[in-house]
Structure 1
Amino acid sequence: MANAVEMIVFNLVSHHVTWFLLCMSPAATQNTVVFQPSFLSTTGPSVSAVLLGNTADISVYVRTVSPSNTTGSIGLPSCVSDETQWVLTTEQVGKTAVQIELRLDRSLSLCGENDTETDCCPTPLCVLETLQVSACVGSKPQASLLIQARIHALLLPADAASDNNTVIPNQVYQPLGSCPCDLTFRACDVRCCCDKECSSEDLELFASHCLPGPFGGQMITDPDYQCSVQSSDNSPDWFPFLCVNSPPENNPYLGLFYLGDTILSEPAPSFQMPPMSAPVPVIEYIQGSPIFTMTEQFFTIPRMVLGRCVNNAPVAFLNNFAVECVTPLQSCPTGAPLQTLPEDLRIQVKNGQGGDVMVDVTEEVAADLSPFISSTHAVASSDQSLECENVTLALDYKFYWKENGITDITLTHTVGTITLNRSVTLTTRYSAEFLNGEFPGEANSGNPGYQVGRPVIAGVVDLLENTTGSIQRMSISLWKPVSDGLCSTAEKKPVLFGENSTSGCLLPVSRQNLTECDLLRETVSSLQAALVSATYVARSGNPDPLLLTDWLNISFVTVNSNTTMEDSPGSCNRIPSHQHVQVWSLITGMVDGTPQRDILDLQVSLSLSSWTLDCGGGDISPCVDPLKTQLFPITSSVTFIDIPINTGPPKTRFQINFTEYDCNRNDVCWPELAFPITKYYTGEPYSQSLAKGLILVFFFITASILGTPWRQLRQAWS
């Protein structure tokens, strides 16, 4: 049993080591090939490694080797395969890597005393051999891998479990609890007459006001339409044909009240095995679920939450993010995350498949600190300056995943030395990216229709090597002004489906800029074009990048472009200061009652305006000083337009007011009187429902003719 556990652990560890080497080895970018690792020791029936480099014409061979008695060496690699008890498989992973896997093709069960099979293990040490895997181009070896296999036989218990499994009965429940209104333990509930904790004095207070119905413990009598409540003596003429035959256990309250202790389990035969601890449940990750460490704690990364930077925010599976945190420094940091050792970042994380993954940390020293220091009062030549070493500037995580598990985690820890003199404003960057193989996971905005609040998916055509058009995803953005609101510091925010929005930024313009109108128009146009750089928009929320029918062309128009106003001194015309995005959406279907909305068209329009310096209000400096600037707004907006499904002719006054036969607007619906024989009934074929309906009508007429009124008429006639 210990050997089996040892093999399982080894398989998991070797799998993670493979992915780690695949992502981190620099040999994948060279023209040579190399095995990573070059030596392996296995105690299980399978082992894998990775061949990195130029693997275009590489062939892989395996043979059993042994050291020389004289020199002790294995010998040179050979490009000829020997017949071994191992099965060699290869799988191309990416463009510059091949995964090599060897699997033992024999049984690991220990031979019995009178066992004649040759596939079993004669001794507890079943396999002890050395394998050599060679990578060759033609007959020339390029790289080799040595594998030391030491595998023990599987030891099964002497008294294996029999096929007679113990049958565990289903949980028994009662359709109605004995007293459903008994909600408080060891206390009397008011108006609950079946509560056993209520004394006779308590019951006298509300005996005439008990809770009615099954929730008050009062059983409801059978209704009049039940076939079992009427006798043949006092039943009406219609009763035998229109009564309902349903067992009393079939009621709308079935299963609402459960009693878990009504039946005790009966003694059952044992498996005659020692008691074992319950296995720890495997945490299987799904999109959006938090990632856990091996200590049952959330795996956290600093990120922005509700406008504030939180140092310990849980990381969600398959959710990429990139944030910036601004921290004013007046002294050198001493705690996490700004001052963190690499050992503290190497954390064991649950991989979602019963194993664990170790975070692999790579240290980088930033030579240029300008992207991280947004504003500073430090003076490098000051004698009182203080140098803070190994300050965290960025933490960039990459999570490699497959199916519902994590295969590898890499971290690039960027540090630098900051010089302090009074205070420094430090901008640290944190990111998490989930990669499936070599490609990042792209989140959709619906399945299939767009969901309100999800980003609108756009893209451009990316021609691949085989000239097949593929759409590379991009986003349509609006302005997101921060701090001073200037366009130079403004950020972008994606357009969210179904949410109308208007935003903008400010551009400082001087009198000298207004003398170069063409350059000003080009500058503003480039700022607006950066918001919408895509040429296609996805129809649905989960488009196929290789299927062009899932995408629509984005139309670009310019409003009032026919105006031919000429520029004048101190004024520029035809400035594209406002960009408006119009999105037309349509409900194309329903999935489980939820409407599915698709984009029918998207149009980007630019509105032109005139910019002139305003020298009123007593401030004439912008009109006098050619370098004095004035702020002009550059705006962007988005509007979503829903197209109605039915665009037929409007209803007449008769159709609007006459509701007697409208089943949706009237409590009494006469057209549904013969529902089983109408076209709206789809429970069975129309021919069968019509035949059954006519038979029912025949019996009803026969019962009416042979009933009491006609019998009295025949007696009077006689």
Structure 2
Amino acid sequence: MAKEVYMFLLLFSSAQTQNTVVFQPSYLTATGPAVSALLLGNSSDVSLNLRTVFPSSTGVIGPPSCVAEATQWVLTREQVGKTAVRVHLNLDKSLRLCGENETDTDCCPKSLCVLETLQVSACVGGTPQASLVIQAKIYALLVPANAGSDNKTSIPNQVYQPLGSCPCDLTFKSCDVRCCCDKDCSTEDLKLFESQCLLGPFGGQVSPAPDYQCSVQSSENSPDWFPFLCVNSSPENNPYLGLFYQGDTITPKPGPTFQRPPLSAPVPVNVYTQGSPILTLNDQYFTIPQKVLGLCANNAPVAFLKNFKVKCVTLLRTCPTGSPLQTLPMDLRVEVKNGQGGDVIVDVTDEVATDLSQFISSTDAVASSDECENVTLALDYKFYWKGNGITSITLTRTVGTISVNDSVMLTTRYSAVFLNGEIMGEPNSGNPGYQVGRPVIGGTVDTLDSNTVSIQRTSINLWKPVNDGMCSANEKKPVLFGENSTSGCLLPISRQNLTQCDLLRETVTSLQAALTTATYVARSGNPNPLTLTDWMNISFVTLNSSTAMEDTASSCYGIPSHQHIRVWSLITGMVEGVPQRDIRALQVSYSLSTWELDCGGSDVFPCVDPAETQLFPITSSVTFTDIPISTGPPKTRFQINFTEYDCNRNDVCWPELAFPITKYYTGEPYSQSLAKGLILVFFFITASILGTPWRQIRQAWNSASL
């Protein structure tokens, strides 16, 4: 009660201390067809205008406008006081889900019926004074197939349901002792206990008035607060009535009935969302070999809009006979649900591999004993999608003939990409800001046919050591936001290579440059490829070529052996408690080093044999730096020494007792908060003067004067 009075005083003083109007609240989220808010202030000359707005990619909404637009909402206003107007918005549209092949436009074509942002502007003479932003996200009303029978349901008339006029009548068709209001008691029965009738609610009478009734307390013993908080209630308003035997009921006469209108239930469809498994026509998971916990699984479900590319290594001793190494085109032409009530069939195309070097990693030198024909070496799927459905699926199957000796290491490749037209569906790294652990998004400039500049996504990579750690494996891993990392690979160098330093520097430079082919980096985790403001240039620190290189017969200077990526990020806001980080700068630099053969100890062969090699490291690293938002004013000596008064270290913060009227309170203008504080002080002083302490002081003063 006290909290509601305090909030009313705040709203009242807010509307009186200034000659403007404000919406309370100024932002709403609508999940139903009706929404309302309060307009506080002098609203006599205020006109309300409604329009649909479109926030920018950063979530910024433009300034309010006094030009009304036609929307699917009806705007009404209701005066609730001298300085308050209740604003209502009602959706002028049916939330019924459209049936199949239905031509009626007053229905919802999909489950998410309304998704828009509205702006209500309060204008005076064509000048906007305040605005209300409403985010409407309303789903259609789904009616189940079996919503109930079509039989008519009669609602009984509640007038004929007695509410217990005699609560002590506990036995049906029998007289209850000491219950003087029991209709079943005869005159002779009542004479037996007429002087001993039950009192209170059990005897059919009202209970004694409670202490909070205004009629109970007298002026002599009533507390100071009693006249403000006592309750006036009728004595017949008894909470015990209706809790006991109800008595007989009268059969109601036929009255109004309600019948459910015939509605055709919508046809259920399996709509795909990002990450949901793709299903076949017989409701089985559509599977492709993938890696699970580092191991290859032959029957792993495919997730919608999740691209992958894996390699599986198998040791063959005999020719394979089963899936996935031995497949037929008919087995791969699977019927898949398209997510829109239909199905698509996988279109299979075969390719014969002539060069098997990338598939056969090791083999014995023994003469071939068996030849295995039509072995599946690669399966490359392309899923074309639109909205929440799949339009077509193409598969390129690569087959070949391999020779099986005692043991053959076969490397098979499997991939799946989702294409929207010809654009690959790339997952975002946040919405809107980057999230820790998601890849940093890079890009290169791509000019479209209409001379429109677009940014083609690409990754920013580090070295990923595999197998023996050689750079020839050419394995990379993407840079993950917020995770510092250092990795590298080994490059074999001989004494003959050190005699050609220019060629060596060029080779190492090309290897390092292949890690970062992007020239742009996305500021946020969900950039628009057609909006250049969502991207920023990557700063490359060029090598100092003016320095004189002193090369010798066994050493080379100026080798860019280390690539370092520095990323500066800034927290720009919070969404549901999750910090949103944007990239403000990205720099790629190189560290130069000198390479020379180490012939110390027993390893003297590289210095003697020109063809003997020695391993040299090529490294890459990334470092993320958070830009502080605001350091704030320096702490005073009082804050440093007396930590018990520090609000950031204690649960009880005495300096915040008067927080609303201090300069640190930024919720509203200082003049308004000061006015509200003075009003509260006035009420405290008035209560003190009219209360018991002041009355006792006056009585003591009068007694002393006498």
What is the TM-score normalised by the length of structure 2?
Answer: 0.61
Determine the C-alpha separation between the residues in 1 that align with 2:278 and 2:466: 32
1:531 aligns with 2:518: no
1:407 aligns with 2:391: yes
DSSP-derived class of the 2:686 partner: helix
Partner of 2:357: 370
Determine the C-alpha separation between the residues in 1 that align with 2:214 and 2:400: 88
Which of 588, 592, 612 is the matching residue for 1:604? Answer: 588
Partner of 2:299: 312
Q: Summarize deviations over 1:353-396 as a string: whole Å, max 9, x none.
A: 233322222233323323322222366xx4x5212122111111
Aligned residues: 479
Which of 328, 332, 337 is the matching residue for 2:315? Answer: 328
Q: Summarize deviations over 1:259-304 as a string: whole Å, max 9, x none.
A: xxxxxxxxx977699x99x988433221112222233322211012
Structure 1 pair 342–678 and aligned structure 2 pair: CA distance change class (3 A): same
- Structure 1: where are the runs of 5+ without partners? 1-103, 108-160, 169-225, 246-267
Report how far residue 677 of structure 1 moved.
6.2
Determine the C-alpha separation between the residues in 1 that align with 2:668 and 2:226: 26
Report how far residue 601 of structure 1 moved.
1.0
1:624 aligns with 2:608: yes
Determine the C-alpha separation between the residues in 2 that align with 1:244 and 1:400: 70
Counterpart mapping for 1:509-658 below 5 A:
509-557=493-541, 564-648=548-632, 650-658=634-642
Counterpart mapping for 1:292-441 below 5 A:
292-377=279-364, 382=367, 385-441=369-425
Determine the C-alpha separation between the residues in 2 that align with 1:662 and 1:353: 60
Determine the C-alpha separation between the residues in 1 that align with 2:464 and 2:231: 66
Determine the C-alpha separation between the residues in 1 that align with 2:281 and 2:634: 65
AA partner of residue 349 (structure 2): T
Which of 437, 460, 474 is the matching residue for 1:490? Answer: 474
Partner of 2:695: 711
Structure 1 pair 509–654 and aligned structure 2 pair: CA distance change class (3 A): same
Report how far residue 585 of structure 1 moved.
1.0
Matched-pair contact (CA < 8 Å) for 1:364–1:414:
yes
Which of 432, 448, 456 is the matching residue for 2:432? Answer: 448
Structure 1 pair 696–365 and aligned structure 2 pair: CA distance change class (3 A): same
Matched-pair contact (CA < 8 Å) for 2:373–2:402:
yes
Determine the C-alpha separation between the residues in 1 that align with 2:103 and 2:293: 59
Report how far residue 659 of structure 1 moved.
5.1
Partner of 1:472: 456
Q: Summarize deviations over 1:593-623 as a string: whole Å, max 9, x none.
A: 2211111111111111111111112121111
Structure 1 pair 235–496 and aligned structure 2 pair: CA distance change class (3 A): farther
Determine the C-alpha separation between the residues in 1 that align with 2:660 and 2:349: 72
Report how far residue 692 of structure 1 moved.
6.3
Determine the C-alpha separation between the residues in 2 that align with 1:520 and 1:616: 23
Determine the C-alpha separation between the residues in 2 that align with 1:230 and 1:685: 45
Counterpart mapping for 1:221-300 below 5 A:
232=217, 236-237=223-224, 281-300=268-287
Structure 1 pair 420–658 and aligned structure 2 pair: CA distance change class (3 A): same
Matched-pair contact (CA < 8 Å) for 2:332–2:346:
yes
Structure 1 pair 685–570 and aligned structure 2 pair: CA distance change class (3 A): closer
Matched-pair contact (CA < 8 Å) for 1:291–1:316:
yes
Determine the C-alpha separation between the residues in 2 that align with 1:105 and 1:707: 72
Which of 480, 484, 489 is the matching residue for 1:505? Answer: 489
Determine the C-alpha separation between the residues in 1 that align with 2:317 and 2:231: 83
Structure 1 pair 656–566 and aligned structure 2 pair: CA distance change class (3 A): same
AA partner of residue 467 (structure 2): S
Q: Summarize deviations over 1:409-432 as a string: whole Å, max 9, x none.
A: 222222222222222221111111
Determine the C-alpha separation between the residues in 2 that align with 1:231 and 1:523: 99
Report how far residue 448 of structure 1 moved.
1.3
Matched-pair contact (CA < 8 Å) for 1:292–1:349:
yes
Matched-pair contact (CA < 8 Å) for 1:398–1:410:
yes
DSSP-derived class of the 2:585 partner: strand
AA partner of residue 617 (structure 1): G
Matched-pair contact (CA < 8 Å) for 1:560–1:608:
no
What is the TM-score normalised by the length of structure 1?
Answer: 0.60
Matched-pair contact (CA < 8 Å) for 1:506–1:634:
yes
DSSP-derived class of the 1:656 partner: helix
Determine the C-alpha separation between the residues in 2 that align with 1:230 and 1:515: 111
Structure 1 pair 710–452 and aligned structure 2 pair: CA distance change class (3 A): closer
Q: What is the aligned-residue identity percentage?
A: 77
Q: Summarize deviations over 1:114-142 as a string: whole Å, max 9, x none.
A: xxxxxxxxxxxxxxxxxxxxxxxxxxxxx
Q: Summarize deviations over 1:301-348 as a string: whole Å, max 9, x none.
A: 101222211111111111111111111211111111111222222222
Counterpart mapping for 1:61-100 below 5 A:
none
